[in-house]
Amino acid sequence: MSENTMLAQIHSLPAMIREVVPAYDLAARELLDHNLCLAAKRLFLTGCGDSHHATLATELAFESLAGLPTEPMTALQFARYAADFVPEAGPGMNLVIGISVSGEVSRTLEAMQRGRKVQATVIALCGTPGSRIAQAGDKLLPMPTPPFDFAPGVRSYIATLLMLYTAAVRIGQVRRKLTPLQAADVRKEIESLADAVERTIALCDEPARKLAQDWQDATEFVFTGGGPNFGTAQNCAAKILEASGDSALGQDTEEWAHLQYFARTVATPTFIITAAERDATRALEIAVAAKAIGRRIVAVVPEGQVSVSAQADVTLRFAPVREVFSPMVACLPGMLFAADRAHVIGEPFFRAFGGGRDVSGGGGISRIRTSEIID
């Protein structure tokens, strides 16, 4: 059953993390040289789909660990709207990181090309050496991920987060935002995320499976998250769409109160994701409001957090880590639920690429890899 490939990817994550982190850290140290790190004054992170969600999830890492003002953008937004208005600056002061696992996404390639035209230093963060995107940057941060069976992207998303975290630590150390000792401690913290992921999977595996069985009647899902976990909310919604094809929305925690609060359907399952740090008080208020208007609430919270859980119908817990790294574990309950839901309702991943969703040309009619690139 196709469900097994997604669950197998999730269960493989701790071993993958332990395998790739040393290589990713070495690549960041070797390729992000002192001149590049010291010259940068502004960072633009860009990509599509999961790669864009990773930019949202790691903005806080670059700002807090590297001390570098950071703007995450979709590739379309940067390429066709923002690049022309990047502030003029000296050599290397504007830094663009274009992210693509396949290395062949046309819009991300266009964003990188536009970055070079406005004299930014452009880095390709890519999982496929020799691809168009791998060759389009001034530098390449290779992101090799050990191969695995095909399924909605799980390993690739986690790998992207890890590569971006290690890059943030490297930049932060060179810029003296982190002392060598502090940088070493953060690197150990990143390595220990394998244990946190393992713990989270153990905590959520059975509850997520039961939830998928109990809520088979649902037809749409909402995920909320704040700060770095807005990216988590977006990614969890993406996994639902890819795995079971259900309508799903990732929303900023604050924006839920301005928008989804008024939705007519009463019992829409609403996953409230919180790191229980900067976002804690607003997440609790949202949970109270969601309960009052009849939503079915899933609290996605660190072990030990009780306030949001008290308002929820179901709690899915993740291992407690610092908020800056919480996207690594906060995404796992949603991923597990998406895999289990697809199995329970008998839906093939990606709609089995039917109904015009063929994979020819790297995206079929959607033309992900063959879309026109505007010069």
pTM of the model: 0.97
**What pLDDT score was predicted for residue 31?**
96
**What pLDDT score was predicted for residue 199?**
98
**Which residues does the chain have with pLDDT short of 50?**
1-3
Domains delineated in the chain: 3-191 (3.40.50.10490), 195-352 (3.40.50.10490)
**What pLDDT score was predicted for residue 356?**
83
The amino acid at residue 309 is S
List, for residues 35-46, the tens digit of each pLDDT value. 999 999 999 999
Q: At what angle do helices 180-191 and 155-174 cross, to 10 degrees?
A: 170
Please report, for the chain, how many H helices and E strands are present, in that order: 13, 10
The amino acid at residue 61 is A
Q: Residue 119 and residue 38: Cα distance in Å, rounded? A: 17
Q: Residue 13 and residue 198: Cα distance in Å, rounded? A: 8
**Positive/negative CA dihedral, 125, 127, 133, 136:** positive
Q: Residue 257 and residue 295: Cα distance in Å, rounded? A: 13
89, two tokens? 């600056």
CA angle 156, 13, 29 (to 5 degrees): 65
Q: Residue 72 and residue 231: Cα distance in Å, rounded? A: 10
Q: Residue 253 and residue 52: Cα distance in Å, rounded? A: 18
* Contact partners, residue 228, CB within 8 Å, separation at least 6: 56, 57, 58, 59, 60, 61, 275, 323, 324, 326, 327
List, for residues 208-245, the tens digit of each pLDDT value. 999 999 999 999 999 999 999 999 999 999 999 999 99
Q: Residue 351 and residue 24: Cα distance in Å, rounded? A: 34
**What pLDDT score was predicted for residue 2?**
43
Whether residue 316 contacts residue 208, with contact meaning beta carbons closer than 8 Å, is answered with: yes
**Chain centroid offset of residue 293 CA:** 30
